[in-house]
């Protein structure tokens, strides 16, 4: 019996000494050898105390329970179990234990306090639980009650959606039989009920892998596909969003630790594969509506190709090509004018082309690309049948789709023997639909100059004949666009005009006439913009177009419509009108060399000079281009490609050039529209959007330009312009905009610091370029109120403070003002810096005196504030040194001066400094002889 007691006592000593692990070891050994129940209960109780210290609450509760099993009135064991249970969240069980403790010792204040606290916690928890549960049930009751008023049902639906977006609310819905009830809402067939149910399911799936997998199995992928297939744009979009939420949660968007459940929710690959196959099945199914097909294509476009090419796994793309490429090609080949075609929207075929392009771009080696081309070739050949014209024009339309997507693949098909001849033959067909498909294919196949020259030789006369002879406006305009495209093959090179002088202006005039005619269908008017996208390479056409306000407004109206296939053409037209395309720098020496060797030398049109471009920009702004751009930016990513985003960014940059126009751009939503362009797209596009953002942010009120939380999204794009690989103007504009933001609020200053902007701003303070150095110093002046910035100046071993002191001695007034302002705020916030600045350079006193005597009242005021901060720094030696120098004489002269509104701030600070010196006993008050 001696051994367990001895081990217990030894454990007690370790516990009192704070060595909890050793104590547990001793108690565990004692338990193994102890036979006496009462002693065993004490040892368990003691080990329970150890586990409490170690925050191992499950073991603490278990050991305390074993002690209580021996003695139900063991008050220490009861209270320890209560503490452990509370930490484990079992409040009701903890409450029962402390209640027993309080019964045994009714006057114990600790027990009574714990009893009161736990009681309050339980009430609060019950209130929350019951209120949430009852709210959920009440919402379902209202929604499923057909006699309930419509307003109440709408409110209940919205409440359910909002509740599902909070994790606690989503869990309550899920646990309270929510999914079957949501399925019941879907079965009603009422669109508002289906929408509410699908949106709630999206909330349940967001960021929770286990729930997402459970919902996939409870609802079924086929069921979600059938919802997305309905002919209702809103419902199709909601179902698409549900699929996206499921995909994000199953592919790693959910970062929760599931513990033992992990094995149950770990492998989602089977479900993801089933979803992919189901979406591919939807693509070519005639039971799916146009809106449903669009969303299926959108999901594939967004989720199949790799987000980052550094990721070597493109298996999803290869799987999609093997199981679905022909289905996507089928969509591209549809001719809506023929019977028995798949249901489509205006955007479907373009979305399919974009998907084809993304799949092709994601391939990583030649064998994969060869397989892709072979599958396309095989599909097109299978559809060509001289005896069945409907099949043949399906093949030609498929090639058109490829030419709008992976151009090289489409171009290779056009080059196959007989394809071009077939396109030309179809142009001469009596059927208007044949002509229309063939003309479109000719237009798309002439995207490269080599191909255009072939058609100029062989097809221009054909297009002219179609244009003159056809009575169908839809074919007429397509033929005209073909001519427009061929006429613009030389780009903006004035010397490479394909047609006679004045021909392009005539073509453009006809395009504008169609564009402004509301009687013509939207698709045909869209083709008019397509024509202008080519013709506006000509500066005469650009000038005529921007002078035609009705035509501009008609184009902007179409850009805002549901048919987004026109976005690229509108963006091209605007880039041409603002001359924001990339221009090769013409080096005079090389021009002379080219002329000597009889090489072609590009020529600039007289109307492409700066003053003409500026006038065109003003006309576009007056016609409302900014609001149209803001709508275009919101288009779905599958249609608004990275190249389109880059073009919009180029246009925005041209619009923001004149500071006077930036207020108009902000008022029409331009500030908000630029943020997504600065975050997504090509590298060049993002830089241009960031630069446009910087121009707006440098002079606008951030609250107005970027309302709400958007202002914090602006910081990262602006900081990205500080990188050394950006040009000087971009650095300068970024510094000015960050200065403006930093002067607005502490929260924005902290955001700038968190985005790691300080090292770049500090390096630009060393810049040789005067304006950049001044902008960086002004930005730092607005940032020095941040504690982190102050800490950087307090650190030893750097020249940050020295630079600031030396900048205070520069000749440039604005630079001096910024540097002196930063130094004044730093010395006020950190008294240690007052002493430190005297050690960083021997010129400090001379610079300080020059500031205090400066002609500029702002610099003088800042210099005197620094003097006051040094007197107030608790460094007696420093204060004495200042007063013994010429600073005292300067303070006396300024302080004795008469009040002057222009210099009153400086005079007041000088007087305050003299009072401070008097308080420190460094000077004595003047007293007259008695």
Residue recorded with tokens 């609060």: 124
For the chain, give the percent of residues with pLDDT over 70.
90
CA dihedral angle for residue 890, residue 894, residue 895, residue 901, rounded to 10 degrees: -160
pLDDT of the residue at 780: 93
State the pLDDT confidence band at 357, using cuts at 50, 70 and 90.
Answer: very high
Furthest-apart CA atoms within the chain: distance in Å: 129
Structure tokens at 533: 């996208």
Distance CA 422, CA 624 (A): 44
Average pLDDT over every residue of 889-897: 90
DSSP state letter for 743: T
Residue-wise pLDDT for 739-798, tens only, equals 999 998 899 999 999 999 999 999 999 888 889 999 999 999 999 999 999 988 988 777
Structure tokens at 219: 């609802």
Average pLDDT over every residue of 163-171: 82
What residues contact 870, with CB distance under 8 A and at least 6 apart?
Answer: 827, 834, 878, 879, 882
E strand or H helix at 746 = helix 746-754
Structure tokens at 538: 């000509």
pLDDT of the residue at 1: 47
Residue recorded with tokens 């610079």: 847
Residue-wise pLDDT for 31-40, tens only, equals 888 888 888 8
Residue-wise pLDDT for 572-589, tens only, equals 999 999 988 776 555 555
Nearest to 533, CA basis, from 570, 565, 483, 559: 570
Average pLDDT over every residue of 483-492: 59
Distance CA 247, CA 235 (A): 18
Distance CA 481, CA 742 (A): 51
Distance CA 829, CA 783 (A): 13
State the pLDDT confidence band at 601, using cuts at 50, 70 and 90.
Answer: very low
Average pLDDT over every residue of 410-418: 81
Nearest to 557, CA basis, from 580, 581, 528, 577: 528
CB 399 within 8 A of CB 413: yes
Distance CA 298, CA 305 (A): 12
Residue-wise pLDDT for 222-242, tens only, equals 999 999 999 999 999 999 999
CB 505 within 8 A of CB 488: no
Q: Which residue has the higher pLDDT, 457 or 791?
A: 791
pLDDT of the residue at 587: 52
What is 881-909 written as a DSSP string?
HHHHTTHHHHHHHHHHSPP-TTTHHHHHH
* Centroid of chain to Cα 749: 20
Nearest to 47, CA basis, from 35, 68, 64, 65: 64
**Helical H runs in 680-709?**
683-699, 702-705
Distance CA 126, CA 413 (A): 70
Average pLDDT over every residue of 680-705: 90
What is 451-499 written as a DSSP string?
HHHHHHHHTHHHHHHHHHH---HHHHHHHHHHHHHHHTTTTT-GGG-SS
pLDDT of the residue at 495: 42
How buried is residue 725: exposed, middle or buried, by Cβ count under 10 Å (0-12/13-18/19+)? exposed
Average pLDDT over every residue of 350-360: 92
Average pLDDT over every residue of 525-538: 85
Question: In this model, does residue 929 exceed pLDDT 50?
Answer: no
What pTM, to 2 d.p., does this model score? 0.70
Average pLDDT over every residue of 651-662: 92
Lowest pLDDT segment from 71-80, 305-314, 350-359, 468-477: 468-477
Residue-wise pLDDT for 825-867, tens only, equals 999 999 899 999 888 889 999 999 999 999 999 999 999 999 9
**Helical H runs in 71-177?**
75-87, 91-104, 109-144, 150-164, 167-175
CB 397 within 8 A of CB 441: yes
Lowest pLDDT segment from 146-160, 175-189, 310-324, 792-806: 146-160
pLDDT of the residue at 523: 81
For the chain, give the percent of residues with pLDDT over 90.
37
Question: In this model, does residue 930 exceed pLDDT 60?
Answer: no
Structure tokens at 568: 């690229």
Structure tokens at 655: 């619009």
Domains observed in the chain: 2-107 (1.25.40.10)
What residues contact 161, with CB distance under 8 A and at least 6 apart?
Answer: 196, 199, 200, 203
CB 872 within 8 A of CB 916: yes
State the pLDDT confidence band at 404, using cuts at 50, 70 and 90.
Answer: confident
CB 184 within 8 A of CB 177: no
Q: Which residue has the higher pLDDT, 690 or 430?
A: 690
Question: In this model, does residue 493 exceed pLDDT 50?
Answer: no
Question: In this model, does residue 412 exceed pLDDT 80?
Answer: yes
State the pLDDT confidence band at 283, using cuts at 50, 70 and 90.
Answer: very high
CB 332 within 8 A of CB 381: no
pLDDT of the residue at 828: 92
End-to-end CA distance of the chain: 100
Distance CA 410, CA 426 (A): 18
Residue recorded with tokens 């002078």: 547
Cα 364-408-418 angle, rounded to 5 deg: 135
Residue-wise pLDDT for 106-135, tens only, equals 888 888 888 888 888 887 776 655 455 566
pLDDT of the residue at 134: 62
Mean pLDDT of the chain: 85
Question: In this model, does residue 645 exceed pLDDT 70?
Answer: yes
DSSP state letter for 342: P
Average pLDDT over every residue of 556-565: 85
Structure tokens at 329: 């090609």
Residue-wise pLDDT for 377-397, tens only, equals 999 999 888 788 888 899 999
Distance CA 264, CA 261 (A): 5
What CA–CA distances, in Å, run from 860 to 735, 850, 854, 902? 25, 8, 5, 12
Question: In this model, does residue 885 exceed pLDDT 80?
Answer: yes
Distance CA 63, CA 76 (A): 12
Q: Which residue has the higher pLDDT, 411 or 198?
A: 198
E strand or H helix at 26 = helix 20-33
Structure tokens at 227: 């919802």
Count of other CB atoms within 10 angstroms of residue 541: 27
User: Sign (positive/negative) of CA torsion 460, 465, 468, 474?
Assistant: negative
Distance CA 36, CA 41 (A): 9
**Helical H runs in 209-268?**
209-219, 221-228, 233-248, 262-265
Average pLDDT over every residue of 14-33: 89
């Amino acid at each position: 019996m001696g051994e367990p007691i001895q081990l217990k006592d030894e454990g007690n000593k370790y516990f009192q000494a704070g060595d909890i692990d050793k104590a547990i070891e001793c108690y565990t050994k004692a338990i193994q050898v102890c036979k006496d129940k009462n002693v065993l209960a004490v040892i368990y109780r003691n080990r329970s105390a150890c586990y409490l210290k170690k925050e191992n609450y499950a073991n603490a509760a278990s050991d305390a329970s074993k002690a209580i099993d021996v003695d139900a009135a063991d008050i220490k064991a009861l209270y320890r179990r209560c503490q452990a249970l509370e930490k484990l969240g079992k409040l009701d069980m903890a409450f029962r234990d402390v209640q027993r403790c309080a019964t045994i010792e009714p006057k114990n204040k600790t027990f009574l306090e714990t009893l009161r606290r736990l009681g309050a916690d339980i009430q609060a928890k019950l209130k929350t639980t019951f209120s949430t549960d009852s709210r959920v049930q009440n919402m379902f009751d209202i929604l499923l009650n057909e006699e309930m008023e419509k307003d109440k049902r709408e409110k209940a639906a919205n409440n359910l959606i909002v509740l599902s977006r909070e994790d606690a609310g989503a869990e309550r819905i899920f646990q309270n039989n929510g999914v079957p009830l949501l399925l019941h809402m879907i079965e009603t067939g009422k669109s508002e009920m289906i929408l509410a149910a699908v949106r709630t399911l999206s909330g349940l799936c967001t960021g929770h892998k286990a729930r997402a997998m459970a919902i996939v199995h409870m609802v079924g992928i086929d069921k979600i596909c059938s919802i997305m297939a309905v002919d209702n744009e809103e419902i199709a979009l909601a179902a698409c969003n549900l699929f996206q939420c499921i995909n994000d949660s199953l592919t790693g968007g959910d970062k929760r630790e599931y513990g033992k459940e992990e094995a149950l929710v770990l492998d989602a690959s089977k479900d993801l594969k089933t979803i992919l196959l189901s979406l591919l099945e939807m693509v070519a199914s005639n039971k799916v509506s146009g809106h449903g097909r669009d969303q299926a294509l959108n999901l594939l476009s967004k989720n199949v190709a790799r987000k980052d090419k550094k990721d070597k796994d493109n298996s999803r793309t290869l799987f999609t090509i093997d199981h679905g490429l022909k289905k996507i090609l089928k969509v591209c080949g549809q001719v809506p004018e023929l019977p028995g075609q798949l249901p489509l929207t205006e955007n479907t075929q373009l979305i399919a082309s974009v998907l084809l392009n993304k799949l092709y771009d994601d391939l990583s080696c030649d064998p994969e690309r060869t397989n892709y081309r072979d599958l396309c070739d095989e599909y097109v050949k299978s559809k060509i049948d001289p005896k069945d014209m409907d099949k043949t024009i399906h093949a030609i339309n498929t090639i058109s789709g490829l030419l709008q997507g992976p151009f090289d693949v489409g171009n290779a098909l056009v080059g196959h023997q007989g394809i071009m001849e077939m396109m030309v033959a179809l142009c001469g067909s009596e059927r208007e639909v044949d002509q229309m498909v063939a003309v479109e294919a000719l237009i798309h196949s002439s995207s490269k100059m080599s191909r255009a020259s072939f058609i100029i030789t062989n097809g221009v006369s054909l297009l002219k004949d179609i244009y003159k002879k056809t009575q169908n406006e839809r074919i007429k305009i397509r033929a005209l666009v073909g001519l427009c495209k061929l006429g613009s093959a030389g780009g903006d090179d004035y010397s490479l005009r394909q047609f006679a002088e004045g021909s392009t202006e005539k073509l453009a005039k006809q395009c504008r006439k169609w564009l402004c005619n509301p009687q013509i269908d939207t698709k045909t008017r869209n083709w008019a913009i397509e024509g202008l996208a080519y013709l506006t390479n000509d500066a005469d056409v650009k000038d005529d177009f921007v002078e035609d306000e009705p035509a501009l407004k008609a184009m902007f109206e179409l850009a805002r419509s549901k048919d987004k296939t026109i976005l690229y053409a509108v963006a091209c037209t605007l880039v041409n009108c603002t001359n924001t395309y990339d221009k090769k720098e013409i080096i005079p020496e090389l021009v002379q060399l080219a002329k000597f060797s009889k090489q072609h030398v590009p020529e600039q049109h007289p109307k492409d000079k700066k003053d003409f471009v500026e006038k065109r920009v003003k006309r576009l702004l007056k016609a409302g281009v900014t609001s149209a751009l803001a709508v275009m930016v919101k288009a779905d990513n599958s249609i608004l490609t990275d190249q389109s985003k880059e073009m919009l960014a180029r246009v925005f940059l041209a619009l923001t050039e004149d500071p006077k126009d930036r207020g108009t751009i902000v008022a029409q939503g331009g500030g908000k529209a630029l943020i997504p362009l600065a975050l997504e797209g090509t590298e060049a596009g993002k830089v241009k959007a960031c630069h446009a953002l910087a121009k707006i942010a440098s002079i606008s009120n951030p609250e107005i330009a970027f309302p709400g939380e958007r202002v914090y999204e602006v910081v990262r794009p602006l900081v990205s312009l500080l990188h050394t690989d950006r040009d000087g103007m971009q650095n300068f504009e970024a510094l000015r905009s960050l200065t403006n933001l930093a002067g607005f609020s502490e929260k924005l200053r902290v955001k700038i610091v968190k985005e790691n902007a300080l090292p770049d701003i500090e390096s630009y303070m060393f810049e040789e370029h005067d304006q950049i150095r001044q902008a960086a110093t002004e930005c730092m002046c607005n940032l020095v109120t941040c504690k982190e910035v102050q800490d950087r100046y307090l650190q030893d071993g750097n020249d940050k403070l020295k630079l600031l002191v030396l900048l205070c001695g520069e000749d440039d007034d604005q630079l001096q003002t910024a540097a002196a302002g930063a130094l004044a705020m730093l010395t006020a916030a950190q008294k240690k810096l007052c002493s430190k600045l005297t050690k960083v350079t021997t010129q400090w006193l001379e610079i300080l005196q020059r500031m205090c005597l400066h002609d500029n009242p702002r610099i003088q005021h800042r210099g005197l504030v620094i003097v006051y901060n040094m007197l107030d720094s608790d460094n007696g030696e420093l204060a004495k040194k200042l007063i013994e120098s010429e600073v005292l004489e300067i303070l006396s002269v300024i302080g004795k001066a008469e009040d002057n509104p222009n210099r009153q701030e400086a005079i007041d600070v000088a007087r305050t400094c003299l009072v401070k010196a008097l308080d420190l006993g460094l000077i004595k008050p003047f007293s007259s002889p008695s």
